[in-house]
Amino acid sequence: MKASRSPFASPAIRGLDIRLAANSQLSSTEPLRCSADVIPVVRELIGERDREHFVALYLNARHLLTHVHTVSIGTATQTLVHPREVFKGAILANAAALIVAHNHPSGDPQPSAEDDVTARRLREAGELLGIELLDAVIVSRSDRYYSMLDGLQTLAWRPA
Q: Where are the domains of the chain?
A: 31-154
pLDDT tens by residue, 47-73: 889 999 999 999 999 999 999 999 999
Per-residue pLDDT, 158: 57
Say if residues 96 and 59 touch (Cβ distance below 8 Å): yes
Provide the sign of the torsion angle of the four alpha carbons 100, 84, 81, 51, taken in this order: positive
Class of domain 31-154: alpha beta
The pLDDT, as a whole number, for residue 144 is: 93
Query: Environment class of residue 54 by beta-carbon count within 10 Å: exposed (0-12), middle (13-18) or buried (19+)?
Result: buried
Q: Where on the phi/psi map is residue 63: left (φ > 0), alpha (ψ -120 to 50), or beta?
A: left
* CA dist list (Å): 86 to 52, 66, 129, 150: 16, 15, 12, 22
> Which residue type is seen at 12?
A
27 — pLDDT class (breaks 50, 70, 90) = low
Q: How many residues does the chain have?
A: 160
Asked if pLDDT for residue 10 goes beyond 70, the answer is no
